[in-house]
Amino acid sequence: MPSLRSSLRRRPFVALLVLIVLLLAGYAARAAHDRHPAPPRAVALSTLPVQARQTVTLIQHGGPFPYPEDGTVYDNRNRRLPAEPLGFYHEYTVSTPGDTDRGERRIVTGRNGAFYWTADHYASFLRINLSG
């Protein structure tokens, strides 16, 4: 029968083992979430800033665009949008009054006709409902 002393020595080892298992489970869950993000929530076009609505109109008419980077491939590196092959998404600048550079706001389009809005430089997206 194990002594009380040897039982007390094993407790930290068991606690460490449980902690490692929990960390690995959390890591696996996070990796699965990153591979299959939830689809972005929708927002009506009419609720976006006027500059975003103007950018959508420019995209629908094929330009002209104010920034040379507009229309370039968006690679979805942070996996905030549904996984698609490289070249599926393109990005466009939404000007921000008072900013002297391109700012953080973008419209990203998909080859399937989807439009996405980000006001925080790709940290989050909302799918744009163009009829709203």
Q: Which residues are catalytic?
A: 91, 121
Cα-based distances in Å from 39 to 12, 14, 78, 81, 127? 42, 40, 14, 7, 8
The secondary structure of residue 112, as a DSSP letter, is T
Q: Which amino acid is at 24?
A: L
Cα–Cα distance between 42 and 96 in angstroms, integer? 22
Under 8 Å between Cβ of 118 and 106: yes
Count of CB atoms situated within 10 Å of the CB of 45: 16
Find all residues with CB under 8 Å of 120, minimum gap 6, and list them: 104
